[in-house]
């Protein structure tokens, strides 16, 4: 049995973990709805019946929207193509059910980072299913400051051009990639600065590099902006001297430039 270690960064998490949790959440809501109906037909006072009826109607609408959105997500992942006009419904379904999936995963003792990583894989696949072609100047690479060596005196969070290109960390390689592709690069210390960079650059697409938690929060915050997330690699643990697979970042940028879409996932990981 393979043990998942977030710091390794190259372990692929199956997308069906997140999809399975979403499905289980809908099933639990349906059970609660059935229980409410059973209570409704028992002999309670009129006010109880009106309240239960309202709950049943609201829950029914919620289940309908969430189930339809989840079904479209699954079909999109299976066929690797988007359904015209339904992307907003998919996003709404995932955003509504994501907190429930985390709560259910906690009850089932599934680590949050596994669920988040599975969500990132689902998001990436959904993004790659869309026909996208964006000008290089409207693409932003968002990188975490922990990619820089912790003892480097030339801080790049204020200005990436402060990098001295010594080659000790991946900031130099990201800077080189951004110049080759003609895209923007920003190095941020956290979510607040990341949001400021998004407002500043006004990108139409983002390639985000971070840990599971920050990537998940960033994707949800910038929705419906298309984002491809690339997990960082943590050989020394979180938030210190991390690395990133530059080839994956390059492939994500090329996808937004409508060159060659990333196809790194094996079918066994679906």
Domain span at 142: 136-269
Report percent pLDDT > 90 for the chain: 34
- pLDDT reported for residue 127: 87
Among 16-30, 67-81, 226-240, name the one with the lowest average pLDDT.
67-81
Domain membership of residue 1 (yes or no) is no
**Which of the pair, 186 or 9, is modelled with greater confidence?**
186
Among 14-23, 194-203, 207-216, 239-248, name the one with the lowest average pLDDT.
14-23
Q: Please compute, for residue 62, the number of CA atoms within 13 A of its CA located in the half-sphere on the CB side.
A: 17
The pLDDT of 211-238, averaged and rounded, is 91
pLDDT-derived band at 4, boundaries 50, 70, 90: very low
pLDDT tens-digit map of 53-82 = 777 777 777 777 777 777 777 777 676 566
Give kind and range of the element (H or E) at residue 141: strand 139-144
**In angstroms, rounded to a whole number, what is the distance separating the alpha carbons of residues 145 and 157?**
7
Q: What is the pTM assigned to this prediction?
A: 0.75
209 and 121 in a common domain:
no
**Among 65, 99, 128, which residue terminates a domain?**
128
Contact 148, 174 (CB under 8 A): no
Cα separations (Å) of 88 from 93, 126, 212, 225?
A: 9, 12, 23, 11
pLDDT at 131 over 90: no
185 SS3 class:
strand
Report percent pLDDT > 70 for the chain: 78
- pLDDT reported for residue 96: 77
Cis peptide before 224 (omega within 30 of 0): yes
Domain membership of residue 91 (yes or no) is yes
174 and 124 in a common domain:
no
24 and 123 in a common domain:
yes
Structurally, the chain folds into a number of domains equal to 2
89 and 185 in a common domain:
no
42 and 104 in a common domain:
yes
The pLDDT of 128-140, averaged and rounded, is 90
**Mean pLDDT of all residues in the chain?**
80
- pLDDT reported for residue 147: 94
121 and 188 in a common domain:
no
185 and 74 in a common domain:
no
């Amino acid at each position: 049995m393979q043990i998942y270690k977030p710091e390794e960064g190259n372990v692929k998490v199956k997308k069906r973990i997140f999809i399975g949790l979403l499905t289980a959440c809908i099933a639990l809501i349906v059970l609660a709805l059935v229980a409410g109906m059973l209570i409704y037909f028992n002999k309670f006072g009129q006010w109880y019946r009106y309240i239960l009826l309202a709950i049943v109607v609201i829950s029914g609408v919620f289940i309908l929207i969430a189930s339809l959105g989840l079904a479209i997500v699954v079909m999109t992942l299976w066929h690797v193509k988007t359904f015209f006009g339904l992307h907003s419904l998919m996003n709404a379904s995932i955003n509504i059910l994501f907190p429930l999936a985390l709560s259910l995963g906690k009850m089932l003792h599934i680590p949050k980072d596994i669920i988040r990583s599975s969500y990132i894989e689902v998001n990436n696949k959904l993004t790659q299913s869309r026909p996208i072609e964006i000008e290089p100047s409207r693409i932003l690479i968002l990188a975490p400051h922990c990619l820089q060596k912790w003892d480097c005196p030339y801080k790049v969070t204020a200005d990436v051009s402060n990098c001295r290109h010594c080659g000790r960390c991946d900031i130099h390689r990201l800077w080189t990639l951004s110049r080759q592709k003609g895209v923007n690069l920003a190095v941020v210390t956290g979510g607040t600065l990341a949001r400021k960079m998004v407002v500043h650059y006004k990108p139409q697409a983002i390639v985000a590099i971070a840990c599971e938690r920050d990537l998940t929060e960033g994707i949800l915050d910038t929705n419906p902006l298309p984002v491809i997330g690339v997990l960082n690699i943590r050989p020394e643990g979180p938030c210190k001297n991390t690395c990133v697979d530059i080839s994956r970042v390059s492939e994500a940028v090329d996808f937004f430039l409508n060159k060659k879409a990333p196809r790194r996932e094996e079918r066994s990981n679906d």
